[in-house]
Every structure is written in structure tokens, then in C-alpha cells.
Structure 1
Amino acid sequence: MIIYVVLALVGLLVYLKQKKNSRDDFSSLASYYGDHCWTAEDEVFDSEVHPFKIEIESAQLDDFRTRIENTRFSMPSLKDTGFTYGVNSEFMQDVVKYWRDSFDWRKQEEELNRFPNFKTKIEGLDIHFVHVKPVSSKNQAKPLMMVHGWPGSFYEFYKIIPMLTNPTLHGGNETDAFEVIVPSIPGFGFSQSAEVKGLGSLHCARIFHKLMLRLGHKEYYLQGGDFGSYITTHLSRLYPNAVKGLHLNFNTTSFPPLLILKILVGSFAPSLFFDKETANKLYPLKSMVLEQLLETGYSHIQATKPDTIGYSLSDSPVGLAAYILEKFSTATDPNGREKNDGDILKYWNYDELLTNIMIYWWNGNITSTMRLYKESLADHAPTSNIKVRVPVGYASMPNELGPCIRGQLEATYKRLLSFTRISEGGHFAAFQVPHLLVEDIRNFVRLAENEKARQSFREAECRQQFKQTHLDRVSQ
């Protein structure tokens, strides 16, 4: 009963707030346009794009090996707990053994350099990005920026990039060719971290728009998951004339008041209000709410005191790995919590998992990545009532964090062209099920292109009718 009362009160508060601010208030976004500098010193203007090769110094490798050799393991996990208390000790010992004896960083370094890497300075920060043009295309390639989240990286997209840039792979055709740009969020990967406070997801959106303009793209498509969903959604709010379409695989919206009421009433007869799959995610409400509380403690820490935990994660590669790998288990398949390996190895091998972790380790920026949670809290207030009016497609993963209902999305994304229930996959969709995600991206972009063509046709018809009416009046 307490759950129902809390949800009802939340719904009422949201409703009253939305009623008070029923129209989009773009004036609240004024401070997010323009130029900023995120370093302690004034920005040195440099608009050049420089090739970048990932090369870790031997001294860093030696230091890493020493730390791995001197690992001090945590106490053994309790019997039959799997990942329910956090990452399992037996699994971590296997990870460290492979990391120490079999993992070849130089080989993975070659893999990361397989696609062209670049850096360019924007708002005082060196922004790293991967830029891959299509293999060949009879038609003009569509620019597509893909944005990762936490605790992922640009490496998440290495499986899907070939499918997007080579339209003959996995059932595509010549019209499906994309020019793919994958930036590292400021403070993530090989992008420079801010030296002053305030850089949240809205500011990241502005930086990435400047990146696309620098690459010569005044119009482009977007795709994002996790923080990438927030950043690309903000991009669509700030620059709707530039964004041709937005594809997401993570829900950034809250439940609108009427939907909250529907969920509350529907708990007594779910089948009357929701399809079976949606009902299974929502009910019982107590389980749904408790699941969110169980798996979101880390976000509260990172949104309040990220620097404190950053000390331990920056000092121990095994501590860093444990913290990240636990998320790859629970955010991919909640049933994996019962197993000693968290079911992680069902979807990825050690090399893939450790390469993502090493990107955090080499750059020593786990603290700056967690700060994004704290900085982005300020972004919610000025955007909560602003609708997204560009074409949107959504890929609903069965094991994504939290439920997502089409009506929930439609309250914010006013031109939701597609809502696809994907057969498998979780939070790290591009990394786990790239073949399914690429199919949905292609289908969405086709819908967006067709809608644009129809709109252009209607506009041409209107212009012709106006012209004809004007001529008729003149002739009379």
C-alpha cells in the first residue's frame, strides 16, 4: 500500500508541475549555447582535427603488471551468493589470473587502432573520437554519431561499426551506408577531463554538435544508450534543425501523471491495461520498485560524492575491474546474479571485458566519468518540460534497466516513429547484440527518410498551390 501512495503523490506533484509549465520553455536553455572553456586556463583556439594513435608507454605497462602481481584479494564470497552481494570472489580470481597470464594489451591496442582515431580541441578540451567512413556506397552516406555511457566506452561500438559502414553486412543494402562518428564523452576514454565544475550532459551535447559541424555535417543522425541517450536527447532539444533522427536504446523519461494512474489502477487487472510483456516488467509494483533500489545505489554515490570512491578505483586495477564488471552482470541479465560468474562470460570474453576496463585504467579518469552523474543533475531542471520534436526510434531491450512503455516515451518524444521490442539484449546493446541493434537503426532511419520525403512533397504541394492561387488572383 505504501508503494501505491508514494507513486500517487509523485504523480500528483509531476502533474501539478507540468500543468504550471505546460509549454516548452526554451529560454531556460539559453546558457547552454555559445562558447565555454573547461580548463583552468583560457582556451587555445585550434580547430584542426589530428589523427590519434593509441600507444600506451612501456612504463605504464610495467606499473600495471606490478599492481596485478601484488593484488590483495578481498575475503571470499559467502557460499551460494553468486553476484547477489556484488562481484563474486571466485570469478574475480579467474579474471585476475587471465589478466596476469594471458591478456595481451598490445594485441588489444592494435584492435582499438583498427578504426581511425582522432582528436580535436573543443571548448578547451581535447575530444577523442573514432571516425569511420563507409566502405563503398552508390548513395550519399548518412552521418551517424553514436554515444556511449557509463561504465562503457567508445569500444562498445567496435562490433557494430562494420555493419553500419558496410551496407552489405547483415542484410543491409546500398541505401543503408553510414558514416559513423563515435566520440568519447569528455572525461571518458581518451577525451580530456574538465578542470572546472559544471560540465554535464547538456554541455556535452553542445560540444558534440560542434564536433559534427567541424567534420562538415550540418545535419546528422544520432544514436545513444545510457548517458549517450541523455546527451543525444539534449542534442535534439538544442539543435532540432540539425538532428535528422534520434535512435535510443535507453529510456531517459519519467512516467507522466496519467500513466502513473493507469499503472496504479492496472495493478488490479494488468491484462486490461497492458500487454503481457509490459505487465511482467511492471508488476508486482513492489518488486519493480525494489529492483530499482537494489541496482541503483552506485548512481547515488556517484551523483553525490564521486571523488571519494574515485581514490580506491584509481589505485587498484582489480578494484576498478570489480566495480565495472558487476554492472556488466546486473545490467545485462538480472538472472545472472545467482551465478558465480554473473553470466558475464555468456555474452563477452575476457579480452573484450578487460579492454574496456583498461581504457579507464590507462587514462586514470574513473573519477571524472563518475562526476558526470553529479554534474548532470543540474541539467534535468531546465529540460524536464521541453519535448523532443525530431523523429525518434526506440529499441526496447528485454533486460534493460527499468521498464519502458511506449506511452511513457510519447509524452517526451513527440515524433516517435518506431518502438521495437528486441528479442534479446540488455543495457550494453551495441556491445552485446550488435546484429539486432543495427537492424533496428536501419529500419528507423528508413522511416525517418521516408517521413522527410513525404514532408518535402507536402511542402512542395503547398508551395505549388499557393503559387497557383496567386496566379489565379492576378489573372482575375
Structure 2
Amino acid sequence: MQPFRIAVPQHAIEDLYRRLDRARLPGSVDEGSWEDGASLSFIKRLVHHWRYTFDWRTAEARLNELPQFMAKIGQLDVHFVYQKGVGPAPLPLVLTHGWPGSFIEMERILPLLTDPGSHGGDPGDAFDVVVPSLPGFGFSQAPTEAGVSSRQVAQMWKELMLRLGYSRFGAQGGDIGAGVSTWLAKLYPEHLVGIQLNYIPGSFRPALGQGQAPVRGEEEAFLERAAAWVADEGAYAAQQGTKPLTLAYSLADSPIGLAAWIVEKFQTWSDCAGDIENTFTMDELLTDISLYWFGGQVEASLRIYKENRAQPLVFTPGERVVPPMGMALFPKELPLPPRAWVERVFDVRRWTPMPRGGHFAAWEQPALLAEEMRAFFRPLR
């Protein structure tokens, strides 16, 4: 385990500029609309900002203020942020990001969790926070062979937490991070004090059929909503979950293609009222996009969708997740199941509708999510 500092080579930045200078953009019947995908007028502004205003070295210096490390877990080098809490007995907590996010999703919430006393909270709610980068995301090494799904990532995170000296800890996440957190609780209940989620993994399926309660009412309505969402918005997941390499050729070669693929999801999935800049600044978006670009491992960040399709979160009759679970329901999140669906498997202790926010909860509404996390884990300490 070694300290880590981000240091993107200058030639990589210059190569990015050359590619932006040579950009060839598509046409559009309505440049301002997001109906057909990423708005052309927005992408034009984003590219201009990336080329002439955004300063990667400034973002890099800010990120390097976070305590970062690299550890060999199994065969892979894993990048992670590790911030000790300020309080009488901080609770260890592993936070896992998703796609198309990165560890910077947790940048705003990190001080609220590690030092609540300095942000209007109780020091007794402090956490020791570990924020790993998923394999192939940012500066974590991409898997060298097939088979690394959220299930294997959970095994890696367990090993990382044990190596840091934590035999009992909490887990939190949204998107892919929700799947990793659930796998942690499913596979290693002896190590988990509880999990707090802001998303239910799309592959989550409790046992149904003979001997199980029939699906009725709000559960049926949820399954219909989810199917409709997949039909209207799920093309990205179908591509990443079946032929990720074909897509990766264009995203690895074109920074604008990568940016468009990513920002469409930030616009669609966030609580931004249609204007992505209501929620994220250009510099914030470009910091995340640049991590994907400079990381040079986009195929792995897409491929985890295929791996998760092969190893879905499916439960057998009578199977339960033992550690307590808490759920924060942000209003602009992707379709979420009703509590009855989740309680078929989980021991749900908190089920909290949130007043605002979307899919990127830790980034969009860090104060709201931090307070909900404190409330959930408080009786489990």
C-alpha cells in the first residue's frame, strides 16, 4: 500500500488538445435539444471550455489534496481515497461510486462524513471513509481477464477494508456502487454493520414463484415502469452489457465522443430540470470526463455492465441479506422498486423519501445524503 498522487503527463494533455482542435461534429435537426442525445449546442460549448478554459492542472492539484493511495488487491492495483474521521469513535465506511461517475462523486460529501462537527453535526457521527475507484475507472487498474463483476469487486473491497484494519464496517453506494455494497452484505455479513443505498441495482431480483408471495399492486406497477424505462432509456446499458468493446473504440479515440456519452447521462439522470448546469459546473463535468480520458481504460468501465449481466443479484427462496439496510429515495432517481419488493430480501430499517436530488446523490445533494447516512448508521455503531 503506497501513497498516490495524480500526475498526468504533459504530452497526454497536449494530445487531448490536438484531438479537440481536429474535432468533427455531427449535424442536428435541433442543436439545443437533448431528445436525440447530447445537445449539439451544449457539446460545442463543452468542447470550447475544455480546450480554452478548463485547467486540468488546477483540478489535479485540488484532487491531490485528498489522501490517496494505491494497493495491490489480488492481481489489480486499486486506487482509493482514505480519510480518517474526527470524532470519539469513527465508524469505518466504504463508499463506492458508479458509472459514468468516479471517485470525485464523493468529493463534496467526504468532509461531511469524516468531520461532521465542523459542518453542524455531531462528532459522534464521524466515519473513517474509504473511497475506492472501481477496477478500470480512473487510476484503478483494469481487469486483466474476464469475470470481474460487482461480486468480485465486493470481495476486493472486503480485502481492502481488512487490510486497513477494519473487521466490521459499513457500506454505501448508488448505481454500480449499490450493487457492490449489496454483494458485500450478501457475501460477508460477518463484516458488515449495515448498508445504506440510494439506488437498487437493476439486476436485483428476489425469489418469486412457488412458495413466494405473488407480485401484486405496486410491485407490478414498478416492473411495468422499469420495463418502460429500459425501452426508452436503456440502449446504453444494452450496448455496454453486450458489445462493450465495439463502443470502446470510438470512446477511446475521441474525447468528444466520450464527453457526449457521459454528459447525456448526467443531464438525464440528475435533478437539473433539463439544464445540466443547474446541477454541475462545466469544470466539474470536465474533471470527471478527463479522469476517464486520461485513465485510458474506457473499455473496462463499460465491460462491468456485461460482467454484471453474467452475475446478477438474484436471490433464492428464503434467502435474506442479514445486515440492516437503509434506503434514501431521491425524486429524480431511475425507477425504484417499492419497499415491499425490497423487503422480500432486505432487513429494511430506514426508507426515506428525499426532497430533491437525482441519480448522483452524493454529488448533487451531499448534505442531504450525509445526514441520512448518519441517521441510518447511528444506532448500528
Q: What TM-score range do you get, normalising by the shorter chain? A: over 0.9
Distance 1:289 1:88 in 2: 26
Within the candidate set 261, 264, 273, 2:216 is matched to 261
Deviations 1:319-349 (A, max 9, x none): 100000000011114852xxxxxx1100010
2:31 maps to 1:99:
no
- Alignment check: 8 A CA contact 2:142 2:297 kept: yes
2:143 maps to 1:194:
yes
- Segments of structure 2 that go 5 or more residues without pairing to the other structure are none
Change in 2 beyond 3 A, CA 1:255/1:297? farther
Distance 1:292 1:378 in 2: 18
Distance 2:196 2:245 in 1: 32
Change in 2 beyond 3 A, CA 1:315/1:111? same
- Alignment check: 8 A CA contact 2:206 2:314 kept: no
Residue in structure 2 matched with residue 461 of structure 1 by the alignment:
none
2:339 maps to 1:387:
no
TM-score relative to the length of structure 2 = 0.93
Q: Which amino acid in the other structure matches residue 278 of structure 2?
A: K
2:266 maps to 1:324:
no
- Alignment check: 8 A CA contact 1:123 1:207 kept: yes
The aligned length equals 374
Structure possessing the higher radius of gyration over alpha carbons: 1
- Segments of structure 1 that go 5 or more residues without pairing to the other structure are 1-48, 268-281, 337-342, 450-476
Change in 2 beyond 3 A, CA 1:348/1:384? farther
Bigger proportion of residues as helix: 1
Residue in structure 2 matched with residue 60 of structure 1 by the alignment:
12
Distance 2:349 2:336 in 1: 20
Q: 5 Å matches for 1:15-414?
A: 49-75=1-27, 77-79=28-30, 82-134=33-85, 136-137=86-87, 139-252=88-201, 253-254=204-205, 258=213, 260-263=215-218, 289-333=227-271, 336=274, 343-380=275-312, 383=315, 386-413=319-346
Offset of 1:254 from its aligned partner? 3.9
Change in 2 beyond 3 A, CA 1:80/1:68? closer
Distance 1:74 1:201 in 2: 35
Change in 2 beyond 3 A, CA 1:290/1:389? same
- Alignment check: 8 A CA contact 1:200 1:375 kept: yes
Distance 1:116 1:196 in 2: 29
Within the candidate set 426, 430, 433, 2:362 is matched to 430
Q: Which amino acid in the other structure matches residue 260 of structure 1?
A: V
- Alignment check: 8 A CA contact 2:272 2:279 kept: no
Distance 1:104 1:255 in 2: 47
Distance 2:292 2:100 in 1: 9
Distance 2:31 2:46 in 1: 19
Change in 2 beyond 3 A, CA 1:418/1:381? closer
Change in 2 beyond 3 A, CA 1:383/1:94? same
Matched position secondary structure for 2:77: strand
TM-score relative to the length of structure 1 = 0.75
- Alignment check: 8 A CA contact 1:259 1:407 kept: no
Deviations 1:224-270 (A, max 9, x none): 100001111001111101001100000123477556322388x7xxx
Distance 2:356 2:207 in 1: 27
% identical equivalent positions: 39
